[in-house]
Structure 1
Amino acid sequence: MRFDIVTLFPAIFDGYLTQSLLHKAIQRQLVEIHRHDLRDWSHDPKHHKIDDRPFGGGPGMLIQAPPTVECVEDIERASPVPARRILLTPQGRRLDQPLAEDLATSPRVLLLCGRYEGFDQRVLDILQPEEISIGDFVLNGGEVAAMIVVDAVVRLLPGVLGDELSNFDDSFSRGNRMLEFPQYTRPREYRGHRVPEVLLEGDHGRIAAWRAEASLQRTTQRRSDLLPDQANTNKHENSPDFG
């Protein structure tokens, strides 16, 4: 899979691209990350300016349409694989796990990182990108949001995780759209908190049932909006022992 990231600050990604599972995925050629400095498409050869004041007045600056549109068009011509255009913006569709799973099926994703007051509207009108938000808040730029999109998608690609089932039962994921069940490791007891006995007995059927019930109870308590209507009305008189 290939990511093209259009940004005014490509160096922001230096550390991120050289760490952990993403770095290993790049080394193993499971994913390509290409950064593109939008200033390289500036129509101002002296100062490489790509922003200007908004027509009609108002605070801040807007990223101009010509360098942005021409940048995206040039990038897309560099590879025969069609790019799925994504604009990171607080006005977009909220990123969730099903959307990340959908993006993971795309062979190429192009991420537009805004700055200042955003892009000239004609960028959206001409390029018609999908608009994605990571939440109802405003960042200084789209770079952090782009990292989140890359992180959420790359871990879904075959071969990136050591265990292919690792991303199947995560919270919100394909095998479990609810919150994940509690998990434990050694020691069996710490400061009076014990691991639930059912997890120590080796009965995989009982463990699976406990985990399903624990996941349902945790989701009911914390994120009931994730539950089907019939599950929302279930009282669950026998709650699992979380230890």
Structure 2
Amino acid sequence: MIFNVLTIFPDMFEGILRNSILKRAIERDLIKVNLVNIRDYSKDRHKKTDDYPYGGGYGMVMMVQPIYDAINAVKSSKDMPVFYMGPKGKKFDQKKAVEISRYDEIILLCGHYEGIDERAYSVIDEEISMGDFIMTGGEIAAMAVIDSVSRLIHGVLPQDESFMDESFYNGLLEYPQYTRPENFNGMEVPKVLLSGNHAEIAKWRRQKSLELTLNLRPDLLDKKYLTKQDIDYLMQIGYSDI
């Protein structure tokens, strides 16, 4: 999968792309990240990409021309969606990550300053928000999207099951995890995890996921993701709103 990132601060991405899972995915040609400097498309002699807003107001606004030309240059004759990292979009979640992972190539536009000229939306397909908080720019949001989506690309993780068990993938929070030692300061690993009984381990993990979701994020409990056994167990532990 190819991520084309349009930004005025391409150097911000160097750290995340040179470490851990993303680095290995790039080396194995499972993903590719093209960093495109929007300034390269500015027609201003000083390579400006922002200006004061018409009508007055605080801060600067990213100009339409550099954004428009940068997007069209990357797209050329290829058809790919353009996602703008901005505050007015729908909140990014695992469902959106799965949806994006099905594309072969996308464009991620990083906003900055007080936003973008409204006319730039003419070449944008969708706006994505990280949540109800303010960020300086869209770079960190784009990094989050790249990281989240890349984990869903076949071969990026050692086993596809790795992401299938993670929080939010199946509509529930992930079950607790343990590793060595078996006993740390009197805190022991649950015996079932040491039993070797894979059916009982799977049952325990599912029940713990249900408990955690009920206690921490009950808003995630959706009947379409629950089995009859799940519902029976939730009823046993006191949840009746199903």
Give the alignment's TM-score, normalised by structure 2.
0.92
1:214 maps onto 2:208 in alignment: yes
Q: How far apart in 1 are the matches of 2:179 and 2:171?
A: 24
In structure 1, the residue matched to 2:87 is 90
Alignment of 1:34-183 (within 5 A): 34-45=34-45, 47-77=46-76, 80-124=77-121, 126-173=122-169, 176-183=170-177
**Contact 1:95/1:132 (<8 A) preserved:** yes
1:188 maps onto 2:182 in alignment: yes
Q: How far apart in 2 are the matches of 1:26 and 1:128?
A: 26
**Contact 1:5/1:111 (<8 A) preserved:** yes
Please give the secondary structure, in 2, of the residue aligned with 1:56: coil
Please give the secondary structure, in 1, of the residue aligned with 2:162: coil
Kindly report the root-mean-square deviation, in angstroms, between the aligned alpha carbons of the 2 structures: 1.7
Instruction: Spell out structure 1 runs of 4+ moving beyond 6 A.
Output: none
Q: How far apart in 2 are the matches of 1:154 and 1:17?
A: 12
Q: CA deviation at 1:232?
A: 11
Q: How far apart in 1 are the matches of 2:57 and 2:31?
A: 41
Unaligned runs of 5+ in 2: none
Q: Which amino acid aligns with 2:155?
A: G
Distance 1:68 1:193, change over 3 A: same
Give the alignment's TM-score, normalised by structure 1.
0.91
Distance 1:81 1:213, change over 3 A: same
Residue by residue, what CA displacement relative to the aligned partner does 1:45-92 show, whole Å, maximum 9, x if unpaired? 2x1111111111100010111111011001111xx5422100001111
Alignment of 1:195-206 (within 5 A): 195-206=189-200
**Count of matched residue positions in the alignment of Structure 1 and Structure 2:** 232
In structure 2, the residue matched to 1:11 is 11
Q: Which amino acid aligns with 1:108?
A: E
Unaligned runs of 5+ in 1: 239-243
Distance 1:233 1:123, change over 3 A: farther
**Contact 2:210/2:234 (<8 A) preserved:** no
Q: CA deviation at 1:105?
A: 0.3
Please give the secondary structure, in 2, of the residue aligned with 1:91: strand
Q: How far apart in 1 are the matches of 2:41 and 2:215?
A: 51
Q: How far apart in 2 are the matches of 1:81 and 1:197?
A: 55
Q: How far apart in 1 are the matches of 2:124 and 2:160?
A: 34
Question: Comparing both structures, which one devotes a greater share of its residues to helix?
Answer: 2
